């Protein structure tokens, strides 16, 4: 149930002392006053924009929902961008922050590199102008490179990652003449309501089976219903939070975040691949997020597993919007050789836009250089060192956090029960660390990071930790089962009862 914790109860809903509650009230008030002076232009920009853009109103609420009513009165985490500089972003007020938001997963190469791709792409395409519906040498070159990366013969271009998934699913259903698709618990495959059987979808798809990841029973279900199932979709990112929705501070109730690489995931994918082949089911890798982030060949390269269809997006566009589907001829067909009226109508006006094809070509050419392969190795080595050094520092200073990573994706875990861990994202922002709207749940590095950048980040995280500690947000909770879980259940119970009573209208 939706409910709001009052300002009166905001600071002590974990059963803390009056002294601690007062320290917290003072801390959030002080931070609020500091931000008024630090981010005046950003705040003004955000206030005006929220009147016109629902997305911003939604993503500005970044803590456990019950706290939003109070927190949003004090702190606005929105950032109005002026420019990017290396691994930093600079806001309208001139504040520079290290960016670990990753621009929703797009930023694999580094922002300066995308500026180069866009400049290169523009120079290739500017003479073509807005001429759509034809092929040129740049498109053919992109196709040749994508065939090499994906291991498949055919390619289709789309306008977003979500659209690529839509196209892949439609192709599988059409060419295999089966309707059901399988996804796994918590996996995200874009905002299309035809492939989103979880929170956020008002229409419950009746042609999607959501099964448990890495489960022998799931394999049995796929085998038993092989004649109905057209495709099994895999988002390789689930390896980092198996059978869980993407980690976010919005759903952070206490220190219950379950994140970390899953042992045996490669073997699971290989077993699933074999089963799909034996059952005549298409295995679709949704590599929109993981493609080119884990490895130059994405999860297929990282796990040595070839999918029947692969979807790409995000960084592949070289800084511009893109979706790509790669697959074999028999699964990519748009027409039926026996039925002229049976067609697989998958098309889009701006698919293959000349400017996007140009920036993509710049990215793909860069990707194939030996220097780029070396950057992946360097990045993974630096990340391992950073994670180790950071966790050692947290232990030494008795800060209740721990970092875990999967390739260049990482998350912050909290080692102490508490209801205010979501507050950490605001102190990180204050210290010059830019996060996405999911807060400390999912964070990203890019290939252009140097050792000095990792050192700067650690220094800022440690300063944010100290601010959390001084604000008493990490005060140890006595009897967590009672004061955290018990209070939470009581709040929800009261809210449920209140909602039920408010909807009850006695008959006259």
pLDDT digits (tens, 9 = 90+) for 66-105: 899 999 999 998 889 999 999 999 999 999 999 999 999 9
User: How do the domains of the chain map onto residue ranges?
Assistant: 111-371
Strands (E), 86-179: 88-91, 96-99, 154-158
Average pLDDT for residues 351-363, to the nearest whole number?
95
Locate tokens 């995280």: which residue? 461
Q: At 69, phi and psi to the nearest 5?
A: -55, -40
* Per-residue pLDDT at 360 exceeds 60: yes
Question: How many residues would you count in the chain?
Answer: 508
Q: What's the predicted TM-score (pTM) here?
A: 0.93
User: Looking at per-residue confidence, does 201 or 400 come out higher?
Assistant: 400
**Spatial separation of the C-alpha atoms in residues 272 and 18, rounded to whole Å:** 55
pLDDT at residue 486, rounded to an integer: 85
**Spatial separation of the C-alpha atoms in residues 458 and 400, rounded to whole Å:** 15
pLDDT at residue 60, rounded to an integer: 77
Quote the mean pLDDT of the chain. Answer: 93
State both tokens at 354.
């000349």
- CATH architecture for residues 111-371: 3-Layer(aba) Sandwich (3.40)
pLDDT band at residue 508 under the 50/70/90 scheme:
very low
* Per-residue pLDDT at 505 exceeds 80: no
pLDDT at residue 506, rounded to an integer: 57
**Residue 418 buriedness (CB in 10 A; 0-12 / 13-18 / 19+):** buried
Alpha-helical runs (H) found in 209-297: 216-224, 265-279
**Spatial separation of the C-alpha atoms in residues 248 and 235, rounded to whole Å:** 18
Q: Minimum mean pLDDT among 102-106, 337-341, 413-417, 495-499: which range? A: 495-499
Locate tokens 């009746």: which residue? 206
- 8 Å CB contact between 309 and 143: no
Write the pLDDT tens digit of every residue in 4-38.
899 999 999 999 999 999 999 999 999 999 999 99
* Per-residue pLDDT at 507 exceeds 70: no
- 8 Å CB contact between 266 and 303: yes
* Per-residue pLDDT at 347 exceeds 90: no
Average pLDDT for residues 32-53, to the nearest whole number?
93
**Spatial separation of the C-alpha atoms in residues 173 and 382, rounded to whole Å:** 43
User: Looking at per-residue confidence, does 264 or 54 come out higher?
Assistant: 264
* Per-residue pLDDT at 501 exceeds 80: no
State both tokens at 72.
């949003």
Strands 88-91 and 96-99: antiparallel
């Amino acid at each position: 149930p939706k409910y709001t914790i009052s300002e009166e109860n905001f600071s002590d809903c974990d059963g803390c002392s009056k002294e601690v509650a007062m320290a917290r009230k003072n801390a959030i008030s002080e931070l609020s006053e500091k931000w008024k002076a630090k981010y005046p232009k950003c705040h003004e920009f955000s206030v005006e924009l929220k009147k016109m853009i629902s997305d911003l109103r939604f993503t500005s609420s970044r803590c456990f929902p019950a706290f939003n009513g109070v927190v949003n009165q004090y702190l606005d985490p929105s950032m109005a961008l002026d420019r990017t500089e290396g691994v930093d972003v600079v806001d309208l007020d001139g504040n520079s922050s290290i960016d670990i938001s990753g621009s929703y997963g797009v930023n694999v190469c580094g922002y300066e590199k995308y500026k180069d791709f866009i400049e290169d792409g523009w120079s290739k395409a500017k003479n073509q102008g807005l001429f759509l519906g034809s092929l040129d040498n740049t498109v053919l070159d992109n196709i040749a490179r994508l065939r090499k990366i994906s291991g498949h013969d055919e390619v289709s271009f789309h306008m977003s990652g979500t659209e690529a998934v839509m196209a892949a699913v439609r192709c599988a259903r059409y060419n295999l003449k089966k309707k059901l698709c399988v996804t796994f618990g918590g996996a995200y495959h874009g905002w299309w309501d035809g492939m989103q059987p979880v929170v956020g979808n008002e229409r419950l798809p009746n042609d999607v089976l959501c099964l448990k990841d890495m489960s022998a029973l799931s394999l049995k279900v796929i085998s038993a219903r092989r004649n109905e199932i057209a495709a099994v979709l895999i988002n390789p990112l689930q390896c980092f939070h198996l059978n869980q929705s993407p980690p976010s501070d919005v759903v952070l109730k206490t220190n219950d975040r379950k994140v970390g690489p899953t042992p045996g995931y490669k073997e699971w994918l290989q077993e699933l691949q074999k089963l799909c082949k034996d059952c005549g089911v298409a295995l679709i890798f949704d590599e929109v997020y993981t493609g080119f982030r884990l490895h130059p060949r994405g999860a297929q390269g990282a796990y040595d597993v070839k999918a029947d269809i692969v979807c790409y997006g995000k960084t592949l566009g070289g800084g511009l919007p893109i979706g790509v589907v790669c697959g074999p001829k028999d699964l990519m067909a748009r027409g039926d050789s026996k039925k002229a009226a049976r067609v697989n109508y998958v098309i889009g006006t701006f698919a293959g836009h000349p400017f996007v094809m140009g920036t993509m070509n710049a990215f793909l050419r860069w990707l194939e250089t030996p220097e780029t392969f070396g950057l992946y190795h360097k990045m993974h080595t630096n990340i391992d060192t950073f994670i180790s050094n950071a966790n050692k520092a947290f232990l030494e200073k008795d800060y209740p956090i721990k970092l875990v990573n999967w390739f260049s994706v990482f998350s912050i875990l909290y080692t102490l029960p508490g209801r205010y861990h979501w507050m950490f994202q605001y102190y990180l922002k204050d210290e010059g660390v830019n996060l996405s709207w999911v807060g400390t749940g999912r964070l990203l590095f890019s290939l252009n990071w140097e050792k000095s950048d990792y050192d700067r980040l650690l220094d800022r995280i440690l300063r944010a930790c100290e601010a959390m500690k001084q604000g008493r947000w990490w005060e140890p909770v006595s009897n967590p089962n009672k004061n955290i879980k018990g209070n939470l259940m009581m709040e929800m119970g009261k809210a449920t009862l209140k909602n039920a009573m408010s909807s009850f209208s006695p008959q006259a």
